[in-house]
Structure formats: structure tokens, C-alpha cells
């Protein structure tokens, strides 16, 4: 697998008229506030148009795809074409997919019944109905991934916070795994301060130093505390510089 970092952190897939001005707007703003790079396509193709290479590359060059399935998501051939591409990259292991069922029961999506069934009847009457089996399979595969349902949350803001926090932690963990925290801007100063607190250069076998040191790492979520912790575990414990 290539070690090249993704161009985008998150690709947002959504049905514009349903969620662009509310949920997607709030989610995109919060992700950007945490310096998480998003791709949000504000143009929907009309019937018969195909996904551009630029849009396909945006999906391929993302770490996550947040797919917001709203009541009219499956009514859009554009959304379904996009979803097929997303699930293809997910199967290749290059993309993590997070389904969000917004105002729609996941069971309706999984089994494609009621409103979703009616939407697919209209698709099957189209000239390009040969795509329908691919759309159905992509939607089923998506619904089989553990996701969030908006009805389980008190309000959208809490759901947005949860999605953002999970993505932030996963990105931080991935960054630490790729580099072990090395060569990241600003990390050296944090580590030097912690090493002084841990007194790593002391003789750990002397009786005077047989004590437990507790160092608290505090930071606002997404600001690097998990990365600092990962570096400590790798550099201190795995190299046995202190007993544990």
C-alpha cells in the first residue's frame, strides 16, 4: 500500500436538497474548525451524466467517506453512482466508510423497502436501468456497515460532535502510526519537556529513584494529546528506558 498521505481527510456524500443547508453545513464547518480537510461537492449531476475523473479522484484521495443517507438519497442516480465508487474503494481497503442514516430507518435502506422500494421502481423505468443492480448492492453493502442513526441523538449538534471527534481521533492515531510521532512540527518541544518530568536519565536501579511518576497530558480534543501519548509509549516503554 502506498505511503502517500490522502489529499483529503473526509469525502462528504449527501443528497443536496435534503441536508446541504442544515446537517452537512454544520458537519463540514465543525470538521474544518478542527483542521480536517473535507471534500464537499455542491453540484449534482443531472440524469445521464457521469461522475467526473476529478470527483472520482477526490473519493480515491480521501481517508474517510461520510455517507449521509437521507430520505431522498436513493432517489438520486447521482448519489447512487457516487456510492458505487465509494464502496469500490472501501472494498480495496483504501477508504473508511461511515454511514449516517439521517431521518431514515437503516432497515429501510438495508432491505430496500417502502420509500426506498418506490425510488428504485422509478430507477428501473429509466433507460440506464442496467445500473440498478450495482446501486442496490452498493446501498446494501453500506447499510451493513455499522453507522449512526440521527433518531438516536438528542439533536444534530451532538451527532456532529461525535462524528468529528471519532474522525479526529482516528486521523491522529493514523498519523502517529505512520511516523511514530517523528518529524512532526512542534512535537520535539513537547517530548523534551515530558522526558525531563519523567527523569529518564536517572539510574532506575537506585533505591532513591524507585518511585512512581504520574504525568498528566491534557489538551482539547484533536489537539495532539493522543499523539504525544503514542510517542511516549513507543519511545519510552518499548525501548525499556524505564521499568514498567
Q: Which domain holds residue 198?
A: 180-237
- pLDDT value of position 243: 42
pLDDT, mean of residues 214-226: 63
Question: Is there a domain that residue 143 lies in?
Answer: yes
Looking at the fold, whether 199 and 114 belong to one and the same domain comes out as: no
- pLDDT value of position 195: 72
Active site residues: 82
Q: Is the pTM of this model over 0.75?
A: no
Give bridge partners of residue 84 from the DSSP assignment: none
Looking at the fold, whether 67 and 161 belong to one and the same domain comes out as: yes
154-158, 160-164, 206-210, 231-235 — which is least confidently predicted? 206-210
Question: Is there a domain that residue 242 lies in?
Answer: no
Looking at the fold, whether 107 and 228 belong to one and the same domain comes out as: no
pLDDT, mean of residues 196-219: 63
Residue where the block lists cell 510517542? 231
Looking at the fold, whether 166 and 185 belong to one and the same domain comes out as: no
Give pLDDT tens digits for 107-122: 999 999 999 999 999 9
Looking at the fold, whether 188 and 230 belong to one and the same domain comes out as: yes
Give pLDDT tens digits for 58-101: 999 999 999 999 999 999 999 999 999 999 999 999 999 999 99
Q: Which of 143, 172, 201 is the last residue of a domain?
A: 172
User: Whole-number mean pLDDT of the chain?
Assistant: 82
- pLDDT value of position 67: 98
pLDDT, mean of residues 208-222: 64
- pLDDT value of position 53: 86
- Residues of the chain above pLDDT 70, percent: 69
Looking at the structure of the chain, the number of domains it has is 2
Q: Which of 123, 142, 172 is the last residue of a domain?
A: 172
Question: Is there a domain that residue 94 lies in?
Answer: yes
Tell me how far CA of residue 63 lies from CA of 8, 153, 159, in angstroms.
7, 25, 20
Give pLDDT tens digits for 178-199: 555 555 556 666 667 777 777 7
Looking at the fold, whether 77 and 109 belong to one and the same domain comes out as: yes
pLDDT, mean of residues 159-174: 91
Looking at the fold, whether 87 and 199 belong to one and the same domain comes out as: no
Looking at the fold, whether 168 and 192 belong to one and the same domain comes out as: no
Question: Is there a domain that residue 217 lies in?
Answer: yes
Amino acid at each position: 500500500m502506498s505511503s502517500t498521505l490522502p489529499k483529503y481527510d473526509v469525502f462528504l456524500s449527501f443528497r443536496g436538497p435534503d441536508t446541504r443547508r442544515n446537517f452537512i453545513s454544520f458537519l463540514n464547518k465543525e470538521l474544518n474548525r478542527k483542521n480536517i480537510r473535507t471534500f464537499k461537492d455542491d453540484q449534482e449531476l443531472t440524469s445521464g451524466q457521469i461522475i467526473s475523473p476529478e470527483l472520482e479522484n477526490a473519493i480515491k484521495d480521501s481517508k474517510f467517506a461520510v455517507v449521509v443517507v437521507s430520505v431522498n438519497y436513493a432517489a438520486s442516480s447521482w448519489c447512487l453512482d457516487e456510492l458505487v465508487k465509494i464502496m469500490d474503494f472501501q472494498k480495496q481497503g483504501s477508504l473508511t466508510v461511515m454511514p449516517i442514516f439521517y431521518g431514515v430507518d437503516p432497515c429501510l435502506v438495508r432491505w430496500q423497502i417502502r420509500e426506498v422500494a418506490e425510488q428504485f421502481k422509478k430507477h428501473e423505468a429509466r433507460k440506464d436501468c442496467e445500473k440498478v443492480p450495482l446501486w442496490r448492492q452498493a446501498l446494501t453493502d453500506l447499510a451493513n456497515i455499522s453507522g449512526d442513526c440521527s433518531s438516536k441523538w438528542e439533536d444534530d449538534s451532538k451527532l456532529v460532535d461525535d462524528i468529528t471527534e471519532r474522525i479526529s481521533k482516528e486521523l491522529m492515531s493514523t498519523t502517529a502510526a505512520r511516523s511514530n510521532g517523528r518529524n512532526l512540527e512542534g512535537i520535539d518541544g513537547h517530548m523534551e519537556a515530558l522526558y525531563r518530568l519523567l527523569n529518564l536519565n536517572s539510574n532506575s536501579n537506585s533505591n532513591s529513584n524507585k518511585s512512581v511518576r504520574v504525568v498528566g497530558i491534557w489538551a482539547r480534543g484533536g489537539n495532539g494529546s493522543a499523539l504525544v501519548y503514542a510517542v511516549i509509549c513507543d519511545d519510552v516503554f518499548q525501548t525499556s528506558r524505564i521499568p514498567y
